[in-house]
Structure 1
Amino acid sequence: MVISFRNLKHRRALVGVSSLALIAACLGFAALNAGAGVRNAAAPAAPEVRRVQATTVKPRSIEDDRRAVGEIRPRRESDLGFRVSGKLISRAVDVGEAVTKGQVLARIEDEDYRNRLRSAKADQVAAEAVLVEAKGAEERIRRLLEKGYTTHANYDATLKHLRSAQAKLESANASLDMASDQLDYTELRADFDGIVTATAAENGQIVNVGQMVVRLAGPGARDAVFSIAEAAFGKASNAGKKPRIVVSLLSNPAVTAVGVVREIAPMADTATRTYQVKVSLEDAPAEMRFGASVAGRLDSTSAPVVVLPGSALFDKDGQPAVWVVDRQSQLALKSIIVARYETDRVIVGGGLAKGDIVVTAGVNRLRENQKVRVEKGDMK
């Protein structure tokens, strides 16, 4: 029993020593972790450096490649119609035919106008007879007055009758000329050499005065006609000079001609709100037929500008801006002046200097003063 009691005390002592050692080890480990945490908290986080694509600003003059689509039209085109009304009995031409000046294009029924001409001739003969009689009476009464066989009142009446007969003859002559002209107007003739581009009346149709029967176009001079939006005019860079336009066929861009703007409509079209611009073509090739679709662009170069892809644009207080990389490789948001927007690029007219490095992609993920890295090969 004595031995067992001693063994028990010995075991308890060993357990106590072991517990103290374990507690000391745990405290040491906790202290070590706490020290490491303090060191980690004290160390500053490395700044984020984002890789970006960018381009270096190099202002240069560019061709104005804005284009407008229009069509070829004759410079001289007239809607021809009769100067008298009647029933159309003959139309001698069709669309596409070439005609010469004075050629008969159409006729209306002329029987009524022939009758009017005969009536006018009869009135003229009657007026001439009255005038002859009035002249004879005036001469007789004048001689009697000279001899004192009649009064001045009788002579005055005879003289009045003579002058009235003269006026009636003049009226009859004018009516005869008018009737003759109206008979001539029953034939529609070409005013100039040209090509028939449209017809608007058929045989048997009653046509009114001035109603278009045939549209005639001069075959020589041609215009390219475009509908241009107001924004395309901008500020005139060459005030007082007529812009030169390069015109090419849409179906065959190799066929080109150069012209100058000869007319700009003073008012916009009420439906499209565009302005009609006519370009006078110089030596237009035969392939540019009437009605052909063409494209036109300004034959000039701009002042030095900066061309950026559309992906470089950002917004700053509602105004266009771009991200610029400074010498410390930090970003700064810079406002710009946009000269015009195109399909996939932006023409910058101001706000950037030569040598500025502009970010061209991922602009929505960047922030002010952010560190960036421009990789070789990304600079354009």
Structure 2
Amino acid sequence: MVVEPGGSSTTDIGAAYAGVISSSFESDLAFRVPGRIVSRRVDVGDAVSRGAALATLDTAPFQIASRSAEAAVAAARAELDQAQSDVARNAPLAADRIVAAADMARFETQRDAAAARLKDAQARAAAARDDVGYAALRSPIDGVVTAVSAEVGQYLAPGQVMFRVARPGTLDAVVDVPESAVANLRPGQAAQVQLASGDGQPIAGTIREIAPAADPASRTYRVKVALSSAASARIGMTARVSFASQPATSNGQQSPFRVPRAAIIQDDKRRPAVWVIAGKGKIALRSVSLGQMAGTDVSITSGLRRGERIVTAGVHRLDAGQIVRLWDGRLP
């Protein structure tokens, strides 16, 4: 292989990765209260505006609960009025010691308890009034409905997703990148997105987000590439994404070379080394410094120069000064 900064034998950073076009901003919408759906006003593909009602629940149970809560507020207020009257009527008598101090303390305690019960009833009534408003599910953004998961007549629990609304104007290309290549990616790095639906020009993009952890099943990292323009891209389209290589690190030094671990051998001083192919196919053993390992690859931090060709297979069968030739892909 010819070594290049950031290159990899198994996964070249310049390779194209299959992905899908999705909205940069999506919202899963659900009712905050339980109930039976009585109307649904939008379907998949419909454009919605912020604050528009998308669906409603049967409000009868919430209205009954609200009236009950208001009645509880009235009862608590009457109790407080009675307790305040008892305190006001007995205060002069307590001052003249006609009413015992213990009885006066009891009246004051009853007054304070009645005031607390009134506050509790008022809070419950406010929550009941809010539940009546929550029976209508409204869109929090201007967007388009991309999924509907419930129908009229269905009973929903609180938080059960009914709609997914996305902003179609800001799109991402979402791809899963193997661990052998993700180390070479950085937020803000340039990318090219080619839609699978046609032969149009690639869409320029930049890396917006790199997942901090790998998927536990596939061991790949999800990367989101923000498209510079929507062009002909639509949510759900398939695409192939390629990333621009970064030949230099943040401190201005050349980034490490990535080579197969099978290319590493030890020299006579038991230091890591590789077979470098010189002019006319003659090989020479050269010591190198190793960096991090990722999958079947290892990074070489020093000892090689960009553009040099190394041996990646059969390294233990070679001797210094041997003449090798490039494999043309044919079996002997």
TM-score, normalisation: structure 1? 0.64
Aligned to 2:283: 333
Q: Which runs of 5+ in 2 are unaligned?
A: 249-253, 256-262, 267-272, 289-301, 311-318, 325-332
- Aligned partners of 2:132 and 2:218: how far apart in 1? 45
Name the Cα RMSD after superposition.
Answer: 3.9
Aligned-residue offset at 1:212: 0.8
Match of 1:271 among 210, 214, 217: 217
SS at match of 1:125: helix
Change (3 A) 1:298 1:214: same
Aligned to 1:260: 206
Change (3 A) 1:321 1:129: same
SS at match of 2:188: coil
Aligned to 1:14: none
- Matched ranges for 1:300-319 at <5 A: 300=245, 302=247
Aligned to 1:140: 89
Within the alignment, does 1:294 sit opposite 2:243 as a pair? no
Change (3 A) 1:244 1:181: same
- Aligned partners of 1:183 and 1:353: how far apart in 2? 69
CA contact (8 A) 2:6 2:245 kept: no
SS at match of 1:216: strand
Within the alignment, does 1:121 sit opposite 2:70 as a pair? yes
SS at match of 1:170: helix
SS at match of 1:153: helix
Q: Which runs of 5+ in 1 are unaligned?
A: 1-56, 306-314, 338-348, 359-366, 373-380
Aligned to 1:15: none
Aligned-residue offset at 1:254: 3.0
CA-to-aligned-CA distance 1:253-282 (integer Å, 9 cap, x gap): 534333322221122112222110112223
Greater C-alpha radius of gyration: 1
Aligned to 1:192: 141
- Aligned partners of 1:371 and 1:159: how far apart in 2? 105
SS at match of 1:214: strand
- Matched ranges for 1:1-380 at <5 A: 65-234=14-183, 242-282=188-228, 284-300=229-245, 302=247, 324-326=278-280, 332-334=282-284
SS at match of 1:213: strand
Amino acid at match of 1:124: V
Change (3 A) 1:158 1:301: closer
CA-to-aligned-CA distance 1:221-264 (integer Å, 9 cap, x gap): 2211110011113457xxx7631222232223534333322221
CA-to-aligned-CA distance 1:189-247 (integer Å, 9 cap, x gap): 111111100000011111111111111112332211110011113457xxx76312222
- Aligned partners of 1:300 and 1:60: how far apart in 2? 8
Higher helix share: 1
Change (3 A) 1:60 1:286: closer
CA-to-aligned-CA distance 1:88-131 (integer Å, 9 cap, x gap): 12111100001111111111222111111110011011111111
Change (3 A) 1:253 1:334: farther
CA contact (8 A) 1:141 1:154 kept: no
Amino acid at match of 1:198: A
CA contact (8 A) 2:142 2:167 kept: yes
Amino acid at match of 1:254: G
- Aligned partners of 1:293 and 1:114: how far apart in 2? 48
Aligned-residue offset at 1:144: 1.6
Percent identity of the aligned residues? 33
Q: How many residues align?
A: 284
Change (3 A) 1:210 1:234: closer
CA-to-aligned-CA distance 1:19-73 (integer Å, 9 cap, x gap): xxxxxxxxxxxxxxxxxxxxxxxxxxxxxxxxxxxxxx9x999996322121111
CA contact (8 A) 2:13 2:245 kept: yes
